[in-house]
Structure 1
Amino acid sequence: MALAVSVAAFLGLASITSAWMPGNKNITASDGNDLFARTSSPQPKAYPSSDSPWGPNIGKIRGVNLGSMYVFEPWLGTPAWQAMGCGGYKSEFDCVSGLGQTKANSAFQAHWSSWITAADFDQMTSYGLNTIRIPVGYWMDESLVDLKSEHFPQGGFSSLKQLCGWASDRGLYIIIDLHGAPAAQIPTNPDTGQYAPTGGFYVDYQYNRATTFLSWLTTQIHSNAQFRNVGMLGIVNEPVRGGSQAASMCSTFYPNAYNAIRDAEQALGVHNTDALHVQLMNDLWGSGDPKAAMPSDATLLAYDDHRYLKWSPDVPVSHASYIKTSCNDDRSSSGEDPTIVGEFSLSVPDNVQWSSGWDPSTQQDFYRKWFLAQIGSYEKNAAGWIFWTWKSQLGDYRWSYQDAVAAGVIPRQLGSISTAGIC
């Protein structure tokens, strides 16, 4: 049953927050500029349905991930990790446990204040980017953390609010993605926030904690002006592929997460034009059909695809093969519209990445063409793309959008992109 909300309260809420997808409404910066209105090539495709929430001929998602901001992956930023005093640890969980809560809080708060700043968003928009994707962990809702057995930095939510406020002021569309699920959705990977020996997420207790987090975050988004450009929640990043755990997730967690987000919005009286898109990993990811157990009346679903040829054994490792594959790469699946390619990079298999034919210091022309081939397909066949990641400390532009622009591999102005002569 819908909760009663006064008209005055609803209007007051609507005046401070609009959580939507590009196409529903204009996404404007505080100076009035709409980053999605830029003329660009390749041209956006016209969606077949005129009442699509994305609308016809809307500019595509062109974004970057904020990797290692709130879920630190030590391989991406080893100098920063060491400077925090975490150099001997594999994950945030391990570092907080080792340093102790008070010392770790200070170290992580210093990291949050310096890794991504307002100046980064100015640079992103100057390059023609219009979207950011922010990986977070469930521990941002500190009430969910068992302090006796779980160890995560505290204070991240205040930083997240400030960050989203900066991005909203600049007209960037914001996707927040649950990268770190309770008990970890995959083992031995710091992109879950913990180097867990097993993926313990796939039980009802952990599902319930994750849905509680998503409900809480939804309420925060619709209640704080800093989050006004957040229009999408990714409900879990890169879960297991196949097997009983994936089946359990699709049948239980996915519909429960969707309902938790919608129930939180209903409790606040959020109109459906301001509702968040709920994003699931797409069918191509391999965890099963994400739509199979969703409510029949589910609306505003979106889909996340991750495309790394680096880890695609079916693609021959050659320049010609990579260009051909990317030029013809259709990442759409039936009934999964819109799909966003939420992660991709310019990295290649470890065994060849520093060989003469793939060396980034001499092969800039190949990497420039490959980037354009990838994004051309992701704009033609999907709703757009989000590069992994904005910055790194690897000294390797193949994982850093910022460094790739500086190297001349990614165009400084995306409005000038063209795949002519490449595809």
Structure 2
Amino acid sequence: MRFLLIPLLACLTAVDAWMPSDRGLFGETRNANHTRLPAGKGRTVRKWLQVSGKVRGVNLGSMFIIEPWMASTEWANMGCGSSASEFDCVLKLGQTAANAAFQAHWARWITQDDIETMASYGINTIRIPVGYWIDESIVYSDSEHFPQGGLAYLDQLVGWASNKGFYIIIDLHGAPGAQVAKQAFTGQYAPTPGFYQTYQYERAYSFLQFITNRIHTNANYRNVGMVGVVNEPIAGQPSLISEYYPTAYGKIRATESSLGVTANSHIHIQFMDASWGAGDPKASLTNTFFVAYDNHRYLKWDPSVATTQAGYLGASCADNVASDGDTPLIVGEWSISPADAVQTSPAFDIADSANAAFYTSWWAAQVLAYEKQEGWIFWAWKAQLADYRWSYSEAVQKGIVPTDPDQAYQEGVC
């Protein structure tokens, strides 16, 4: 999301802000960009080009935290077999062999060609899920098993994306001790969520300080404008709100202060919004300067939505993703996959070309809903499921999603 919290922060007129024009990601006005054209005798004129002004992104799922369900062929080729998570695979292979397997994966899963293709599809933002272990100094070497060497590949990836003008969000997707039980996206298939205690929070602060320092001192990270402090925390953890969130905010800002970073160059600090269900992220914050919010909209798992084509379209057209008032808001994860119980039924079977129009309409309806706020980031760029409902690149290739996201407004779906 390389348009640093875009115009959504225009309301903060009392302070400086890292606005799109400051980094050349958007133009000098909310909905315009420009190029300088030669006008003779060394003079130039501006040609104004309309742009959306919205975050339109993809998640780089299974790049730095592999989820076997969506990358089963890759997982098998790496030798991970039936391992449930990265932790388990490293333990199985041994550190040396695992490092080689994972480094080969990082080199091929998302390439510079992928970044070029994203840009050609009208994508302007990438969200990169990472685990805390990318900072190897905070890993317990005697009891934690994670692949090593990922930082160099992250450096390379954000460099490619920055060179292409993308807005970039780095998300702490895998927290120390695991913030959710039995989920591969945490990097470890933990039997219980072990994150919600002070000593694990301390390790997460170390990661956040580490990545903040890198954002401000490594030129490859120049288009990283937002850091998510933890992905999809669970409900019922009071210390998340009272302890972790305000301290995480303070640690990031203190790191920026120590580096002499001025307010207009601060990164945005992103929390899951109140509607996520893990508590009000603002409750213990004493400062919300450059705070942003995340909301994940998987209607697939929303029991209130009727599992019909009309039901999904109606729910998306009427969706108010910022109903809790937490703005600026980006919908950081979503898909066009319906409920498991109906996804292969005649009305939703992707093998039936008659359903293609519905999926295009549902994509458009969600785009319209999420662009009422700051925009969206689809899960994911690629998957090995032979199912375009989870793969933006495949959806475009199959003609379900247009190469110009502006076409969502021409569908007449809502």
Same fold (TM over 0.5): yes
Report the TM-score, using the length of structure 2 for normalisation: 0.89
Distance 2:4 2:394 in 1: 30
User: Is residue 370 of structure 1 aligned with residue 362 of structure 2?
Assistant: yes
Q: Are 1:343 and 1:387, in contact at CA under 8 Å, matched by a contact in 2?
A: yes
- 1:34-54: per-residue Cα shift (whole Å, max 9, x none)? 5998979xxxxxxxxxxxxxx
Of 107, 112, 122, the match for 2:116: 122
User: Is the alpha carbon distance of 1:374 and 1:176 closer, same or farther for their aligned partners in structure 2, counting shifts above 3 Å?
Assistant: same
Corresponding position of 1:418:
409
- Residues of 1 paired with 2:106 and 2:262: CA distance? 33
Q: What secondary structure sits across from 2:171 in the alignment?
A: strand
Q: Which amino acid aligns with 1:22?
A: I
Deviation, structure 1 residue 420: 4.6
Aligned to 1:135: 129
Question: How far did 1:356 drift?
Answer: 1.2
Equivalent of 1:157, from 137, 148, 151? 151
The structure showing larger relative contact order (alpha-carbon pairs under 8 Å, at least 6 residues apart) is: 1
Q: Whole-Å Cα distance in 1 between the matches of residues 326 and 261 of structure 2?
A: 25
TM-score (norm 1): 0.87
Distance (whole Å) between structure 2 residues aligned to residue 165 and residue 223 of structure 1: 13
Correspondence for 1:215:
209
Q: Which moved more, 1:331-340 or 1:218-227?
A: 331-340
* Equivalent AA in structure 1 for residue 408 of structure 2: I
Which residue pairs with 2:344 in the alignment?
354
Tell me the equivalent position of 2:326. Answer: 336
Contact preservation (8 Å) 2:3, 2:166: no
2:260 is aligned with 1:262: no
Deviations 1:103-131 (A, max 9, x none): 00000000000000010011111111110
| Corresponding letter in the other structure for 1:364 | A
Does 1:22 find its partner at 2:14?
Answer: no
Q: Does 1:278 align with 2:269?
A: yes
- Measure the CA separation in 2 of the matches of 1:319 and 1:265: 48
Structure 1 gaps of 5+ residues are 1-17, 41-56
Closer, same or farther: CA 20–369 of 1 in aligned 2, 3 Å = closer
From the superposition, tell whether residues 155 and 268 of structure 1 become closer, same or farther in structure 2 (CA, over 3 Å).
same
Task: Quote the offset at 1:58 in angstroms.
Answer: 6.8
1:229 to 223, 229, 235: 223
The residue that corresponds to 1:44 in the other structure is: none
- Who is 2:387 aligned against? 396
Contact 1:36-1:60 within 8 A present in 2 as well: no
**How far has the Cα of 1:337 moved from its partner?**
1.4
Among 173, 183, 188, the alignment partner of 2:182 is 188
Letter in 2 for 1:279: Q
Tell me: CA distance 1:37–1:62, structure 2 relative to 1, closer, same or farther (3 Å): farther
Moved over 4 A (4+): 32-40
Residue aligning to 2:12: none
Q: Report which of the two has the higher share of strand.
A: 2
SS, match of residue 289 in structure 1: coil
User: Is 2:367–2:408's contact at 8 Å kept on the other side of the alignment?
Assistant: no
Q: CA RMSD in A?
A: 2.0
SS at match of 2:196: coil
Aligned to 1:313: 303
Aligned amino acid, residue 312 of structure 2 = Y
Over 3 Å counting, the alpha-carbon distance change for 1:154 and 1:27 in structure 2 is: farther
* Cα deviation code 1:186-241 (max 9, x no counterpart): 00000000000000000000011101110111001100000000000000000102
Q: Distance in 1 between matches of 2:377 and 2:130?
A: 16
The one-letter code sitting in structure 1 at the alignment partner of 2:393 is: Q
Unmatched segments (≥5 aa) in structure 2: 8-17, 33-50
Correspondence 1:26-175 to 2 at 5 A: 26=20, 34=26, 59-175=53-169
**Offset from partner CA, 1:295-347 (integer Å, 9 cap, x none):** 2x331000000000110011111110110110110100444211000000011
d(CA) in 2 for partners of 1:105 and 1:27?
40
Alignment-derived partner of residue 315 in structure 2: 325
The answer as to whether partners of 2:361 and 2:411 remain within 8 angstroms in 1 is no
**What letter is aligned with 2:399?**
G
Tell me by how many angstroms 1:87 deviates: 1.4
Aligned residues: 383
Label 1:191 to 1:202 Cα distance change in 2 as closer, same or farther (>3 A). same
CA distance in 2, matches of 1:262, 1:159: 26
TM-superposed CA distance for 1:158, in Å, is 0.8
